Chains A and B, each alone.
Chain A
């Protein structure tokens, strides 16, 4: 069964600190896809990144970076030099190739960046 766990319910940091949001997933498929979404206070869900299970290369996009490790079934998200605008709820999600289209979300991590 597919499952996504975000153990950190809430994180509070001061601006310019680095912060890592953890995501652990469970799946029996060998082909699957992992995602991160951001939900700012305005409420919409914004897609950030997608990785497939065959690509373990870490990715960097500006201040954002993602670390995918199949050995530990983790797909962690790091924000470098955090800013107040990064304050949001962040969701990790999983989609299995055998269950095409079904996107299951973790419980989300609320990040508060204080000035």
Chain B
């Protein structure tokens, strides 16, 4: 398997523009996570899905952020409108945990977002 695939790897956009980050989880994994990493706040869980259903979005910072998982093989994280403080590395991860076994999450390479 190719692992978790994120695109783009780097994104530079102007303030106010819409940004869409994409993620393809590992086939067969039931859980999908979106994390944001910044120097100030470390790794923050934004939202996670189980079987394509959002379970906990309490980490989504504002209404400008939205995430979808239309099917088991694809998820998006959208920021509209983007702001400079959204600049961060965004990670997508997936996990095969479907029985509460607590298996590890596998991370993508991340998308480095810069909003100018």
Contact = CB atoms under 8 A, between A and B. Distances in A.
A44 B102 contact: no
B109 A101 contact: no
B110 interface: yes
B106 interface: yes
Interface in B58-73: none
B104 interface: yes
A64 interface: no
A47 B104 contact: yes
Size bin of chain B's contact surface: 20 to 34
Contacts of B100: 31, 97, 100
B104 A50 contact: yes
Contacts of A102: 45, 48, 55-56
Contact of B106 (A31, A47, A91): A47
A105 B110 contact: no
B26 to A, nearest CB: 13
B38 to A, nearest CB: 11
Contact of B97 (A31, A44, A91, A101): A101
Contact of A44 (B33, B48, B110): B110
A32 B30 CA distance: 19
A44 B45 contact: no
A100 B95 CA distance: 11
Interface of A: 31-33, 35, 37, 43-45, 47, 50, 52, 91, 95, 97, 99-108
9 contacts: A43-B109, A47-B106, A50-B104, A97-B100, A97-B102, A102-B56, A103-B93, A105-B42, A108-B43
